Amino acid sequence: MPSPSPELLARVPLFADLEKKELERLAKSFRERTFKPGSPIATAGTGGVGFFVISEGEATVSVGGREVAKLKSGDHFGEVALIDENHSRSADVTAESNLVTYGLTAWEFKPIVESSPSIAWKLLQSLAAKLRDAEARAGASYS
């Protein structure tokens, strides 16, 4: 089964600072998944165990039936699911066109993080940024 190119993974902020060898190792753990237009990729309120990187096509992110983002090649979603397998998805993600993604599950990711502190650190930074964004949207002022 094909895996993503190291170049595609390098476009993901979570992996952008990794060495080429780390990207190549990481790429081997991803699995290709394809979706037809209109197909759900993630459903709000359901459990999520996977992280996805879009290779080809577009997807829509909706919260409460309202579109909040469009995703395209190089975009990603689901990083919280990599470290919190009990987490429910916070949004619906639906394929807008024929979509090619690469997915990584929490159980495939855990050994990689345990052996690569640089990947673990980037994940923490990404989650901290998401928390800051959520707090800003909610009007919170934590520091």
Burial of 41: CB neighbours in 10 Å, binned 0-12, 13-18, 19+: buried
Annotated domain spans of the chain: 6-135
Q: Which amino acid is located at 118 in the chain?
A: S
pLDDT at 33 > cutoff 90: yes
Cα–Cα distance for residue pair 28/129, rounded to 1 Å: 27
pLDDT in tens, 102-124: 999 888 888 888 888 877 887 78
Percent of the chain whose predicted confidence (pLDDT) is above 90: 34
- Give pTM, 2 decimals: 0.79
Query: What number of other Cβ atoms are within 10 A of residue 74's Cβ?
Result: 14
Pick the CATH number of 6-135 from 2.60.120.10, 3.40.50.300, 3.40.190.10, 3.40.50.280: 2.60.120.10
The C-alpha atoms of residue 108 and residue 41 are separated, in whole angstroms, by 19
* CA 86 – CA 119 distance, rounded (Å): 21
